[in-house]
A and B are shown apart, each in its own frame.
Chain A
Amino acid sequence: MGQPTPSEIRASTDAMHAEAAVWFTAAGELQATAVRTRALTIDHYDSVVFREFIEEHNAAADQVAALCQSGYTQLNDVGYTLGDVADTYQAEEDANVHAMNDLY
């Protein structure tokens, strides 16, 4: 394994940006899932036959929605972090910092 060329580094940081975009897409999907899951909760039915079931069913739907909403935040954080890392790394590469300090 040798030192990467500038074009290889560019390919790596570009790929990291692309990967960040994947996380953003996945985060958006989780948020959409949260919205759709909330629509699957059941309001009310008169029969006592269903009461206990409805409570547990809605608890499951609420928990899925809550998880998706917090997942949306976490996945976005991963995406933003990767983007920042790629920008920082590429900026140092463009400034020749890596080569000057033999820091690959």
Chain B
Amino acid sequence: MTQAILDDAWLRRYEEVLEQIREKQEHLRSVVLPRLEDLLSTAASVLGGVAGALLEPKLREVLHGTDEFVIEVGVLVESGGLPLRLGYDARGWADLHDQSTIGIHRLGITTPHVRESWQGLSAYAYLYVHGTQLNATDRLSEVCSAVAAQLVHLAKDALTFYLWLLGLVTLLELQLAGAIASAATGAGLPVACQNLMMASVVLAALRYCVQSEQQRWREQAAIFSKIVDVLTDHGTFPGGRWPPANTDGYRDGSVSDGTPTDWTAHDSVTHHGPTPS
């Protein structure tokens, strides 16, 4: 089940990326945004009537977009712990799969002895129930494996998303710093406008990136909904419950009670059955 395990190096990398985004978000909030606001309030007086009028609308738009985005990034970074948690949880689900597989193996080796040493209606009823129980355990194991694999997939995609986020936030930070520095002088006005245009494009890319991420999580929700469907499948788990043991069909150990549902030992015993662990 190694494919369901994210190694420690990967998980540390994820934590580092989140921390880097957190630092950049804080820098944008506490340093860049106040400077943009200062620039906006002084644009007209510093740059003069026409220049200020050219710069101000774009500056206002970028300021507003950045302000909104800084809040959203804050929430995303705080929530970034979820994919990380899922990455760790994948190990737990993989362990459950492994444990179930051991259980299946253990149950699977029990029947040969019963087939060899017992017969009668009860033996056949028991073998049937054995099959339904084994099938349920098998299905449970498959589900645990599927969940583990899906969580690994989710966590890996989440890291990709946060790497994109980190790259775009860095780009936004650079463009805004360039705009602030250039706009301080009238001569740098064209460069400042160019920076603000780029910042605007980066903000649009960030919005698209976040929307795509939202869509991806909705798709994952749908996948998990299907997993629940498997766990309530009537064939394996009737009524969403574990298949019944139906012990009435094979609880008759007496061959002298006059009922036909007996267990009957025969003489082809070749070994002494499974060894309990």
Interface residues of A (CB under 8 A from B): 1-5, 8-9, 11-16, 18-19, 21-26, 29-30, 32-33, 36-37, 39-40, 42, 45-50, 52-57, 59-60, 63-64, 66-68, 70-71, 73-75, 77-78, 80-82, 84-89, 92, 97-98, 101, 103-104
Decide: B255 and A98 in contact? CB cutoff 8 A.
yes
Write the B198-232 contact mask toward A (1 if CB under 8 angstroms, else 0): 00000000000010011001101110110110011
Q: Given A11-B117, A49-B214, A68-B140, do A1 and B231 touch, yes or no (CB 8 Å)?
A: no
Complex CA gap A3/B255 in Å reads: 14
**Residue B268 is within 8 A (CB to CB) of chain A in the complex:** yes
Contacting residues of chain B (154-176) with chain A, CB-CB under 8 angstroms: none
Q: Which A-chain residue is minimally distant from B227 (CB atoms)?
A: A60
Residues of B within 8 A of A33 (CB): 96, 99-100, 140
Contact residue among B75, B140, B218, B256 (Cβ-Cβ distance under 8 Å from A52): B218
Please give, as numbers and ranges, the residues of chain A lying within 8 Å of B144 by CB-CB distance: 64
Looking at chain B's contact residues, is the secondary structure mostly helix, strand, loop, or mixed?
Answer: helix
A12 touches B117 (CB 8 A): yes
Question: Could you tell me if B224 and A19 are in contact, using CB atoms closer than 8 angstroms?
Answer: no
A67 touches B231 (CB 8 A): yes
Instruction: Say whether B265 contacts A30, CB under 8 Å.
Output: no
Contact B228 A60 (CB under 8 A): yes
CB of B8 closer than 8 Å to a CB of A: no
Complexed CA–CA distance, A68 and B242 (Å): 7
Partner of B265 from the list A12, A45, A60, A80 (CB cut-off 8 Å) is A12
Q: In the complex the two chains form, is B267's CB within 8 Å of A1's CB?
A: yes
A97 contact from B75, B96, B256, Cβ within 8 A: B256
Q: Is B133 an interface residue (CB 8 A)?
A: yes
CB distance B245 to A57 under 8 Å?
no
Q: B interface vs A, CB < 8 Å? A: 75-76, 78-79, 81-82, 85, 89, 92-93, 95-96, 99-100, 102-103, 106-107, 110, 113-114, 117-118, 122, 126, 129-130, 133, 136-137, 140, 143-144, 147, 210, 213-214, 217-218, 220-222, 224-225, 227-228, 231-232, 237, 240-245, 247, 250-256, 263-269, 272-277
Q: How far is the CB of A13 from chain B (nearest CB, A)?
A: 8
Nearest residue, chain B, Cβ from A79: B245
Which residue of chain A is the closest to B122 with respect to CB atoms? A85
A32 surroundings in chain B (CB, below 8 A): 99
Besides the contacts A32-B99, A50-B79, what 16 more A-B pairs have beta carbons closer than 8 Å? A1-B267, A11-B269, A13-B265, A15-B113, A15-B273, A24-B276, A36-B92, A46-B75, A47-B76, A53-B218, A68-B140, A73-B242, A74-B245, A78-B129, A85-B251, A92-B254
- Nearest opposing residue in chain A for B76, CB measure: A47
- Cβ–Cβ < 8 Å partners of B251 in chain A: 81, 84-85
Interfacial chain A residues near B247, Cβ < 8 Å? 77-78, 80-81
Find the A residue at minimum CB distance from B146.
A60
- Inter-chain contacts of A80 with B (CB < 8 A): 247
Q: A29-B103, A49-B76, A56-B225 are in contact. Are A64 and B245 (CB under 8 A)?
A: no
Does the CB pair A78–B224 fall under 8 Å?
A: no
Which chain B positions have C-beta within 8 A of A78? 126, 129-130, 133, 245, 247
* Shortest Cβ distance from B265 into A: residue: A12
Docked-complex contact A53 and B277, CB < 8 angstroms: no
Minimum CB–CB distance for A80 against chain B, Å? 8
